[in-house]
Amino acid sequence: MHVHILGICGTFMGGLALLARATGHRVTGCDANVYPPMSTQLEEQGIELIQGFDPSQLGKNEDDAPDLVVIGNAMSRGNPCVEAVLNRGIPYTSGPQFLAEHILKDRWVLAISGTHGKTSTSSMLAWILEDCGYEPGFLIGGVPQNFGVSARLGGSAFFVVEADEYDSAFFDKRSKFVHYQPRTLVINNLEFDHADIFDDLKAIQRQFHHVIRTVPGEGKIIWPKDSEAVQQVIDMGCWSEQETYARHSDSDSGIVSGKGSSAADNQGTWSSKLIAADGHQFELFLDGESQGILDWSLIGQHNVENATMAIAAARHVGVKPESAIQALTQFEPPKRRMELIGEVNGIEVYDDFAHHPTAIATTLQGCRAKVGEAKITIILEPRSNTMKSGVHKDTLAGSMSLADQAYLYQADSIDWDIEAAMAKAELPVSVLYDIDEIVDAVASKAKSGDTIIIMSNGGFGGLHKKLLEKLNDSSFKS
């Protein structure tokens, strides 16, 4: 079958293309911006890429048209290829529906959902299963460094998927994860996000309850006990086995409640206890009994929680916690999750995907615990649709309080006044309109022992490379 993908260079759609190619389909695709590294990864797998959306790529008639067009959720009515597909009656589907029908069918799906930590937790789970001999398939919204690719079919029935609550396509406004029908479902956390498609938290909670309805009774849902938002979703009705996570090892392991649930549904409470303040060493408990101590390279309470969820999910398919803990000692975080991209004259520069106040705060908590009193500078691009809309402008300043200095980029696409929103910030904040000015300002003040964290869910206009080059410039050496 010839599958043509509209919007192929996004992480999800690019991963989907790799999976479709691996199943034997002829795969082609197009996007507005076809460039490395995704373009290179796809072309190496024999996938033909086309720049732009000229309808000619769909063939001239029925005989040379694709058998199926997969339409990414970034595509909308008015796109030339979308209009051609509809006018000519070419069969089409969404990415999540293609994944469900052609890849996930008859597989044990382990879905990782939540507002934060999906990519990291999915990567941890995939690596645990791999290291323990399970040969999982996976589709992750990032590049797990233990694998070097964002997706693969795998050699077993097990498939790990990063389960996003974003909508599926212009013609299917259900969340992506509703299509996946997981047997193991992790809900890491739940906050308001994606303000471009959801009106409020309740709208997101409804989508989460839709996916809960698809988990079989013999399946398992793993969720954080101290999250009121997730508890409210569970209370809407839950018919599957449950395990919960509580942060402290001395916490009550009481029964979770909810319509359709019973005492027998609660299979245990996981918890963790920090041994090192920065989270690089912690002890894991199940119903108050120690499962072992993890000493690894990651930091932050959020990663402790991500690891616990991954270990709990792996246990559901038969991996012993002590084996999972051992696997994570060799875990390498996904690209762009507090990734050290350079060290110049004693100055460490990190790249981090954080684009929500909670993610920013948790990243800084881990970093502060690691570096102590050393200076932390953050450079933030408010780039997500929710950030650009200004939904989080009242909580953004507070989320940065553990840093010593912040530089925020006021792009033309942001129509709210960042400087005004930062008026009550507890740290010095500079709001600049030019990326090169940010680079110069940061480099001129950086000194040996400093930590610089670049926070963006995009390319940030090449700031990462520019900053490293400037720090290497002799005129800026400290």
- What is the DSSP code (8-state) at residue 468? H
d(CA 34, CA 17): 14
Please answer whether residues 204 and 123 qualify as being in contact, where contact means their C-beta atoms are separated by less than 8 angstroms.
no
Annotated binding-site residue? 445? no
d(CA 477, CA 237): 59
Annotated binding-site residue? 308? no
Neighbouring C-beta atoms of residue 398, cutoff 10 Å: 13
d(CA 12, CA 182): 18
Q: What is the DSSP string of 73-126?
A: TT--TT-HHHHHHHHHT--EEEHHHHHHHHTSTTSEEEEEESSS-HHHHHHHHH
Annotated binding-site residue? 302? no
d(CA 338, CA 173): 32
Annotated binding-site residue? 117? yes
Question: Strands 241-246 and 266-274: what pairing?
Answer: parallel
Q: Name the token pair of 360.
A: 């920013």
Helix (H) or strand (E) holding 70: strand 68-71
Question: Strands 376-380 and 451-455: what pairing?
Answer: parallel
Q: What is the DSSP string of 260-293?
A: T--GGGEEEEEEEEESSTTSSEEEEEETTEEEEE
d(CA 66, CA 338): 41
The distance from CA 264 to its chain's CA centroid, rounded to whole angstroms, is 32
d(CA 93, CA 106): 20
The burial of 264, by beta-carbon neighbours within 10 Å (0-12 exposed, 13-18 middle, 19 or more buried), is given as exposed
Residue with tokens 């323990």: 132
d(CA 207, CA 174): 7
Annotated binding-site residue? 389? no
Please report, in range form, the residues annotated as the binding site for ATP. Answer: 114-120
Please report, in range form, the residues annotated as the binding site. Answer: 114-120
